[in-house]
């Protein structure tokens, strides 16, 4: 009887040890997985969501400028302000307002500054269009992107050009699209006409300058 009890006790001990060993083995596997995951995370750049193929080259994207479509109501429809460029880039081509963002500026602040510098207009109701202008520069091999803003101005405000442009003209959207310098500008004008000229824009897109 005593031997039977001891044998059963030994068997229980052996079963307990096996369970403990199995549990430790499972914990060790989980720990190893955790270590491997941490090592994998350390090997990945902090600002990257994936590791790029080292044999391939990426094209950098620069978002360092803004574009502005100014509109005013003429009789029963909105017209767009188009400017003829006087500088080297896109010389004599018709464009809307555009320019770079200075250090410390917000994009909408750069938009207001460019409006003032290029047209002399200081009173404008400004909106973010939720759209971006973009093009590829083959000479510098980068993709340029710029948030597009839309501004409503009073029909009586005069336009005073600076040295960057030689002429200005308030055009219908159809005229502006026909005169647009580059493909893509007409798409932006289509978008602005649909969401800002044909109907009232969303109030969530307005730049509340006084509260900024």
Rounded to two decimals, what is the model's pTM?
0.73
pLDDT digits (tens, 9 = 90+) for 88-116: 888 989 999 999 999 999 999 999 999 99
Q: What angle do CA 196, 199, 202 make, to 5 degrees?
A: 65
Residue 98: predicted pLDDT: 95
CA 64 to chain centre: 11
Q: Rounded to an integer, what distance in angstroms lies between the CA atom of residue 22 and that of residue 15?
A: 10
Portion of the chain with pLDDT greater than 70, in percent: 74
Assess whether pLDDT exceeds 80 at residue 1: no
For the segment 15-43, the average pLDDT, to the nearest whole number, is: 46
Portion of the chain with pLDDT greater than 90, in percent: 63
Q: How far is CA 134 from CA 79, 89, 93, 130, in A?
A: 23, 16, 17, 13
Q: Rounded to an integer, what distance in angstroms lies between the CA atom of residue 139 and that of residue 188?
A: 24
């Amino acid at each position: 009887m005593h031997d039977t009890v001891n044998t059963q006790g030994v068997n229980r001990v052996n079963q307990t040890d096996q369970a403990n060993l199995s549990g430790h083995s499972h914990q060790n596997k989980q720990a190893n997985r955790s270590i491997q995951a941490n090592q994998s995370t350390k090997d990945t750049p902090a600002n990257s969501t994936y590791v790029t193929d080292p044999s391939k080259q990426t094209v950098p994207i620069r978002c360092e400028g803004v574009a502005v479509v100014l509109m005013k109501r003429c009789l029963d429809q909105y017209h767009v302000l188009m400017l003829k460029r006087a500088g080297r880039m896109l010389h004599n081509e018709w464009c809307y307002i555009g320019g770079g963002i200075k250090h410390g500026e917000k994009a909408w602040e750069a938009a207001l500054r460019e409006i003032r510098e290029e047209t002399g207009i200081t009173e404008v109701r400004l909106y973010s269009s939720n759209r971006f202008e973009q093009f590829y520069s083959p000479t510098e091999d980068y993709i340029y992107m710029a948030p597009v803003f839309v501004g409503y101005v009073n029909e009586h405000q005069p336009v005073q050009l600076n040295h960057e442009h030689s002429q200005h003209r308030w055009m219908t959207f159809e005229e502006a699209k026909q005169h647009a310098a580059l493909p893509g500008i007409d798409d932006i004008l289509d978008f602005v006409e649909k969401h800002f000229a044909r109907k009232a824009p969303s109030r969530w897109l307005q730049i509340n300058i006084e509260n900024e």
